[in-house]
Structure 1
């Protein structure tokens, strides 16, 4: 029991380290630096436009407005470069955790730099569309940070491979346990009375996820199909011959283990699919946002 508690504690600590390190990387260096840059950007904006003689009102055409626009554009390039860096496994250009931490906080800073660039002037045009898409990317990014930083600690009991495939535990561990348990049930049913074999056959068939079941789990409250409760199966013990009752008790234990594994697997499928949904939103919108920003710059340079 003590060994199990220590193992679970190590698993939680490992997940905490992985999920929180990118938010608190190097004692929250990116958070502190980002906060300082945000305050500095606001102070410079106020001093430049309200305390220094300026020939133009706040806007993208002023020297400071152009500077904020250039900084925001450079920041967006850095944000997009993270997709390349995370696939460059041999790169020595900083750690991946450091890149992810900078990715999060630079993304939030762009939400400030763009309004400072435009002088908080927006209208119904492609320029505003670029900012709206940027906001959508940032909001989906916050959702992703929540999934990676908060959810792993809530679902440790369902397997660490749900969020960090192959890093903490063998991702095939549950499948192998499921197959081994079902084989034991099938072996146990051989040469048994008909009612015993029927219950084993029904148990092997029930609760199995069907096609597209993983995606249906996103909207369904029930994770698995309806199965006969274990308490109901125990009532069949009286119908089993005495010399097979010990095996039937073992069958009940295996059935309980199989259902626990099925619930664990279904939970993993639900969480993995939610993360895939997040990727399907965050990545395409990011690409569209980048294309819109390029169009915005091209139009400004043309006119």
Structure 2
């Protein structure tokens, strides 16, 4: 009985995010949208010559791209503003990823793969032709690429945080901070009424200016408490090291999200300009 209980206490707690089946739904949704658009593109490509991007269905592909962009951008509204909307944030994230990737593929067909198979960009001014059409496509590509890289960074650093939480003996960062505070208070209580050498050692160790494994000359009656303090400081230093690694991972992920948000705003501005100008052309306003 004692052996079983000791084994259970040594069992490492696993930390992680539950998997979402919504990713498969949005993957199938993206494949379905792309398959439908691809079918229309191939039908036109092999049945009639494509002379300009205003020709159907290439023009309609542009509207499909805009709708997909708006749906993909709704994830930011759900995460930051409209938190009362139904569904978990993780499910909305998979929608964001699935539709965001599909958007780029549909946009390539809308441009008839200009700049990739023909009409190559020779100079920077080529990005502004067709009312910044190539620039909008490039902005969308950079945006999707930053999102993919951000997701890979999230997977890597989330795994690192999970491993830290599972091996530090306490858990995630907020719990570690609480435990560090408890250990700090325990050291301060043990310092009460002790000699100046004892207190000085504890103060320097709490500030990280002294190794907790070093010994100092203390009174014989303080040896037992001194050993307890050293053990507490050792645990505290280990938790602080784990906390720094987790906070570092969180900080990198947060900074990359900020980069992605800035890129999304710039890309949306270019894409919106291109869409508005094309609509004005269709309406024969310009």
Decide: shared fold, TM above 0.5.
yes
Q: CA deviation at 1:111?
A: 1.2
1:60–1:69 contact (8 Å) kept in structure 2: no
Q: CA deviation at 1:37?
A: 3.3
Give the corresponding residue for 1:53.
48
**TM-score normalized by the length of structure 2:** 0.79
Give the corresponding residue for 1:279.
257
Deviations 1:217-259 (CA, angstroms, capped at 9, x unpaired): xxxxxxxxxx54444x14x3xx333221111110111111221
SS at match of 1:63: coil
Q: CA deviation at 1:270?
A: 1.0
Deviations 1:60-89 (CA, angstroms, capped at 9, x unpaired): 211011111011010011112222223433
Give the corresponding residue for 1:214.
none
2:22–2:94 contact (8 Å) kept in structure 1: yes
Deviations 1:170-224 (CA, angstroms, capped at 9, x unpaired): 8643332222211221222233233222211111222xxxxxxxxxxxxxxxxxx
Structure 1 residue runs of 5 or longer lacking an equivalent are 161-168, 207-226
Write the distance in 1 (CA, Å) between the matches of 2:146 and 2:9. 37
**TM-score normalized by the length of structure 1:** 0.75
- Closer/same/farther in 2, CA of residues 276 and 243 from structure 1, 3 Å limit: same
User: Any residues of structure 2 matched to 1:1-303 within 5 Å, and which?
Assistant: 1-4=6-9, 8-9=13-14, 11=15, 15-17=16-18, 20-21=19-20, 24-25=21-22, 28-49=24-45, 51-54=46-49, 56-57=50-51, 59-86=52-79, 87-92=81-86, 94-122=87-115, 123-125=126-128, 126-159=132-165, 172-206=174-208, 227-231=209-213, 233-234=214-215, 236=216, 239-300=217-278, 301-302=280-281, 303=286
Count of aligned pairs: 258
Write the distance in 1 (CA, Å) between the matches of 2:252 and 2:197. 41
Structure 2 residue runs of 5 or longer lacking an equivalent are 1-5, 116-125
2:140–2:267 contact (8 Å) kept in structure 1: yes
Give the corresponding residue for 2:118.
none
Write the distance in 2 (CA, Å) between the matches of 1:32 and 1:136. 24
Query: Which region of structure 1 is more displaced relative to structure 2, 125-134 or 186-195?
Result: 186-195
- Closer/same/farther in 2, CA of residues 4 and 156 from structure 1, 3 Å limit: farther
Q: CA deviation at 1:95?
A: 4.6
SS at match of 1:88: coil
